[in-house]
Amino acid sequence: MTDPQNTPEAVTVLEARAIAKSFLGNIALDNVDFSLKRGEIHALLGENGAGKSTLIKILTGVYTRDSGTIRLDGAEVSPANVGEAQVLGIGTVYQEVNLLENLTVAENLFLGRQPRRFGLTDRREMRRRSRELLARYGLDIDVDALLSTYSVAIRQIIAIARAVDLSGKVLVLDEPTASLDAQEVEVLFSMLRKLKADGLGIILITHFLNQVYAVADRVTVLRNGKLVGSRDLDGLPRMELISMMLGRELQHVTRDHQASEGDVPAGDAAIHFSDYGKRGSVSPFDLAIRPGEVVGVAGLLGSGRSETAFLLFGIDRADSGTATVDGREIALTSPEAAIANGFGFCPEERKTDGIIGDFSVAENIALALQARQGWAKPIPSRKKQALAEEFIRSLDIRPADPDRPIKFLSGGNQQKAILARWLATNPRLLILDEPTRGIDIGAHAEILKMIEKLCAEGMSLVVISSELEELTAIAHRVIVLSDRKHIAELSGAEVTADNIMHAIAAPNRTEAA
Amino acid sequence: MIHSRNLPFVTTLAIFVIAYALCALQFPAMLSTRVIGNLLVDNAFLGIAAVGMTFVILSGGIDLSIGSVIAFTSVFVAVAVGSFGLHPLTAFALVLVISTAFGSAMGAMIRYLQIPPFVVTLAGMFLARGAAYLISTQSVPISHPFIDSVQEFYFRFPGGGRLTAMSMLMIAVFVIGGIIASRTKFGANVYALGGNPQSAELMGVPVGRTTIGIYATSGFLSGLAGIVYTFYTSSGYSLATVGVELDAIAAVVIGGTLLTGGTGLIAGTFVGILIQGLIQTYIVFDGTLSSWWTKIVIGILLFVFIVLQRGIIWYSNRRIDIARLKGA
């Protein structure tokens, strides 16, 4: 008789085949396969928009798939909601919203499955079982206290205890370490190893490669809704994993470096950031930006790219270092202060942070100029109109109608309108976070051309991008980030995709060795 | 030790005890069982409606239709018994089915059409009031041997006070409501929804079923309150009980339930009702005060409680931050 634990069917606990899902015609997942073994920690990697969370939400019953099959222990399943997925054996711990702060620890652990006696909730039994359950995870806390009185790390353990106790086959962890410190991460990982030894299949979503190598057995990489590959981590070089994520095969021929070769703008830097940083956000860094220079910022998701932009624009306040413009020290205490110093910022989340959908194109364009002037001095509507018409012409925004609500424009044209908003203030430093995400190829090229034109006119730009080709095409210098640190700076001929990938991989490699 | 989530309730209870003691010092007669009995009878319909409102507010919602549903119920019962000769029990059963269905429909709209509860129940308020006018614009007196016998049923306290059937019904509703809130899955789901609907859904709470259940409960209890009101006034009148939903909200909030949902106790609402009744009783005893002082004191109390709740939230957040700093 064969041991059922060793037959292939028994080893694979969860198997998803050819999962497809699209939202309003946008393909989020394109025939993705995924399989999870019993007693395995399987990392799921990919940049923003790669389809990680869509896949997880399909597996856990939040979304329904358009096509494909999911097998759990060999039997086909189609969880219609989270509750069903839990009963089937798939439990999830989400990054932020996972438990209820207004309930006690015991109520959180047993919500929806309260022990009952004479038809009513047996609170004493619930308390007893809660204590027992948490003791297995080494927690000895007051289970009658509100969840809100405990730290994030403890809440995470409670959430895991609930998910495992409830489901018991598959545990999905969505960025569980995002708000934990190093020691708490270690505690979490030793717990995961223990659960793994008990035969649980664990899916771990994270963007910290060190953590992937520290705890995971296998990795699946998604990019743009497609499966890039599933690999055993043992013997998978870091460089290869990074190139799977960033979507570029290692190649030693680099593209022609249009903007930078030789013509790095001369002259002294006008804007200096020295020892600039914020605890828990980005480690202190030095950055000097010359007029007419494009500084690229590269790094994996979560490396501190956007956080750097937030610091430069005063959205987050630095707790160390100084910023100077033309040798004069400035205090970037708010976006308003940054605007007053001639800074501009196009955020990554265009839809939520950038545009005001119901406002017209003209109103959206005038917004930053208005903020700079102060709200007490309204811009006359005739001037707004003239401004809008000027930029619609020069940036080729379509349709060329200043009065149309901006939400009816395509992504590329919205992005141009946001660019116009900042250009109207005639900034000396413009920060662009993923300026070309989610826009079509034509608009993509136009925006890159516009960036080149702007810096030729003497404007300084900081461009954050996860597309290496884009960075190498436009940046004079590239800052490379990893684990919220500025770890390298490449300039001139050094700016190649290979060099950037090596820089991202380098410190981690020495650490792992 | 008092957990901080029970602090609003304990505060309310303390305020009631102190206020009652002060009243009793000035008018010793206020200690009599007769006063207590009247206080319960006068507020029986409001108390029953406030239990439904407590569930709604605990879930993070609001129900503005309560006063109109009470008026509709009383007119419906009066006309059904008076003009159509139905037995009161039949009329009660009918009207409870209607009011429960009405609440369920509002809950379904809130859940499935994603319309804010304020808007849906505002529409429900106009609809129910309009339906009451449609039945009769006159005050319809009601008399039936069954109703008379229920009205005459009471337990006598020592000292002459009466615990009427209506008071007993209110107390029963509070007891059952308290058990449902604290000891059933449905109750836990209500608190979960009020805490954070997204988290609740991700934890497997059946959000649709629970939302409909909450507004159905509120509708049912509004209907029951309407029946009690019919007994109380021996008539049905479509202009009656305007704004009772606001009195119910006041009782809930004074009782320590957070208007943002997720925190509170049914027992707190009972104390909230008692405080409102106490103020009215004091005004009657004083004899020189305008009855509008009830509203003024309720207004002040509401302000005090809202500020108190903010303070508690601020304080507990600060404590967590300090604990975190120490841990780091």
Digit-coded pLDDT (tens) for B144-168? 888 888 888 888 888 788 889 999 9
Domain of residue B245 covers 4-293
pTM for the full model? 0.75
Per-residue pLDDT at A316 exceeds 80: yes
Q: Are residues A221 and A363 in the same domain?
A: no
pLDDT category of residue B321 using cuts at 50, 70 and 90:
low
Structure confidence by residue, pLDDT tens digits, B244-289: 999 999 999 989 898 888 989 999 999 999 998 998 888 888 888 8
Count CA within 13 A, CB hemisphere, residue A189: 18
Q: Are residues A317 and A466 in the same domain?
A: yes
Per-residue pLDDT at A393 exceeds 50: yes
Interface contact flag, B4 A146, Cβ < 8 Å: yes
The arithmetic mean of pLDDT across residues A105-128, rounded, is: 90
Q: Which residues contact B43 (CB under 8 A, 6 or more apart)?
A: B170, B273, B274, B276, B277
Mutation for testing the B interface, residue in A86, A100, A117, A142 having most B CBs under 10 Å = A100
pLDDT category of residue B325 using cuts at 50, 70 and 90:
low
**More confident site: B146 or A379:** B146
pLDDT of residue A260: 43
Alpha-carbon gap: B265 to the closest alpha carbon of chain A (Å): 13
The arithmetic mean of pLDDT across residues A403-410, rounded, is: 80
Of A81, A100, A123, the CB nearest to B199: A100
pLDDT of residue A251: 42
Written as six digits, the tokens of B256 are 């320590």
Q: Are residues A260 and A333 in the same domain?
A: yes
Q: How many CB atoms lie within 10 A of CB A117?
A: 12
pLDDT of residue A48: 65
Cβ(B216)–Cβ(B206) below 8 Å: no
**Chain A residues with CB-CB distance to B316 below 8 A:** 146, 148-149
**What CATH number does the domain containing B273 carry?**
1.10.3470.10
**Chain A residues with CB-CB distance to B256 below 8 A:** none
pLDDT of residue A351: 65
Number of domains in chain A: 3
* Domain-located, residue A140: no
Alpha-carbon gap: A83 to the closest alpha carbon of chain B (Å): 4
pLDDT of residue A408: 76
**What CATH number does the domain containing A80 carry?**
3.40.50.300
Query: Torsion over CA of A236, A239, A245 and A251, rounded to 10 degrees?
Result: -120
What is the C-alpha to C-alpha distance for residues B132 and A304, in angstroms, rounded to an integer? 63
Of A82, A103, A121, the CB nearest to B201: A82
Structure confidence by residue, pLDDT tens digits, B213-227: 999 999 999 999 999
pLDDT category of residue B76 using cuts at 50, 70 and 90:
very high
pLDDT category of residue B3 using cuts at 50, 70 and 90:
low
Which residues 374-433 of A have a C-beta within 8 angstroms of B? none
pLDDT of residue B328: 43
The arithmetic mean of pLDDT across residues A136-165, rounded, is: 86
pLDDT of residue A49: 66
Per-residue pLDDT at A148 exceeds 90: no
What is the C-alpha to C-alpha distance for residues A147 and A331, in angstroms, rounded to an integer? 39
* Domain-located, residue B321: no
The arithmetic mean of pLDDT across residues A347-353, rounded, is: 71
Alpha-carbon gap: A343 to the closest alpha carbon of chain B (Å): 33
Q: Of A59-73, A116-130, A373-387, which range is least confident?
A: A373-387
pLDDT category of residue B290 using cuts at 50, 70 and 90:
confident
The arithmetic mean of pLDDT across residues A492-512, rounded, is: 71
Kind and range of the H or E element at A343?
strand A343-346
Q: Are residues A421 and A431 in the same domain?
A: no
Q: Are residues A91 and A181 in the same domain?
A: yes
**Chain A residues with CB-CB distance to B188 below 8 A:** 103, 107, 111-112, 114, 121
Supply the DSSP string of B135-165, one letter for each residue: H-SS-EE---HHHHHHHT-EEEPTTS-EEEH
pLDDT of residue A468: 79
The arithmetic mean of pLDDT across residues A330-350, rounded, is: 84
pLDDT of residue A262: 44
pLDDT of residue B322: 66
**Chain B residues with CB-CB distance to A279 below 8 A:** none
End-to-end alpha carbon distance in chain B: 27
Structure confidence by residue, pLDDT tens digits, B297-311: 888 888 887 787 777
Q: Are residues A59 and A24 in the same domain?
A: yes
* Domain-located, residue A111: no
Highest averaged pLDDT of the listed ranges A86-100, A123-137, A154-168, A383-397: A123-137
Q: Are residues A377 and A474 in the same domain?
A: no
**More confident site: A511 or A453:** A453
* Domain-located, residue A271: yes
**More confident site: B20 or A510:** B20
**Chain B residues with CB-CB distance to A146 below 8 A:** 3-5, 316
* Domain-located, residue B319: no
Average pLDDT over chain B reads 89
Per-residue pLDDT at B142 exceeds 50: yes
N residues, chain A:
513
Interface contact flag, B5 A102, Cβ < 8 Å: yes
Domain of residue A409 covers 354-426
Q: How many CB atoms lie within 10 A of CB B160?
A: 10
* Domain-located, residue B75: yes
The arithmetic mean of pLDDT across residues A63-79, rounded, is: 90
Q: Are residues A89 and A170 in the same domain?
A: yes
* ipTM field: 0.84
* Domain-located, residue B325: no
Q: Which residues contact B63 (CB under 8 A, 6 or more apart)?
A: B52, B53, B56, B103, B106, B117, B121, B124, B215, B218, B222, B245
Cβ(A247)–Cβ(A228) below 8 Å: yes
pLDDT of residue B304: 82
pLDDT category of residue A513 using cuts at 50, 70 and 90:
very low
* Domain-located, residue A36: yes
Q: Which residues pair with A43 in a beta bridge?
A: A204, A219
Structure confidence by residue, pLDDT tens digits, A250-297: 443 333 444 444 455 556 778 888 889 888 788 888 888 888 888 999
* Domain-located, residue A412: yes
* Domain-located, residue B315: no
Single residue among A398, A426, A454 that ends a domain in this structure: A426
Per-residue pLDDT at A21 exceeds 60: yes
Alpha-carbon gap: A421 to the closest alpha carbon of chain B (Å): 34
Q: List b or e across A20-29, with b for residues whose CB sees 16 or more CB atoms inside 10 angstroms.
A: bbeeeeeebb
Highest averaged pLDDT of the listed ranges A38-42, A488-492, B212-216, B286-290: B212-216
pLDDT of residue A267: 65
Q: Which residues pair with A93 in a beta bridge?
A: A173
Q: Which residues pair with A285 in a beta bridge?
A: A276
Count CA within 13 A, CB hemisphere, residue B90: 9
Q: Of A7-21, A121-135, B13-27, B273-287, which range is least confident?
A: A7-21
Residue contacts between A and B (CB atoms, under 8 Å): 87
pLDDT of residue B173: 97
What is the C-alpha to C-alpha distance for residues A241 and A250, in angstroms, rounded to an integer? 11
* Domain-located, residue B134: yes
Interface contact flag, A112 B189, Cβ < 8 Å: yes
Q: Are residues A435 and A494 in the same domain?
A: yes
Interface contact flag, A100 B316, Cβ < 8 Å: no
Average pLDDT over chain A reads 82
**More confident site: A68 or A94:** A68
Q: Are residues A31 and A167 in the same domain?
A: yes
**Chain A residues with CB-CB distance to B3 below 8 A:** 144-146
* Domain-located, residue B310: no
Q: SS3 of B55, please?
A: helix
* Domain-located, residue A11: yes
* Domain-located, residue A118: no
Nearest chain A residue to B180, by CA: A120
Percent of chain A with pLDDT over 90: 13
Q: Of A240-244, B20-24, B117-121, B143-147, which range is least confident?
A: A240-244
pLDDT category of residue A512 using cuts at 50, 70 and 90:
very low
What is the C-alpha to C-alpha distance for residues A300 and A385, in angstroms, rounded to an integer? 41
**More confident site: B179 or B324:** B179
At position A211, the amino acid (one-letter code) is Q
Per-residue pLDDT at B205 exceeds 60: yes
* Domain-located, residue A10: yes
Q: Are residues A261 and A231 in the same domain?
A: no
Supply the DSSP string of B122-140, one letter for each residue: HHHHHHHHHHHHHH-SS-E
Q: Are residues A224 and A315 in the same domain?
A: no
Written as six digits, the tokens of A401 are 């109608």
Number of domains in chain B: 1
pLDDT of residue A257: 42
The arithmetic mean of pLDDT across residues A418-433, rounded, is: 86
pLDDT of residue B272: 93
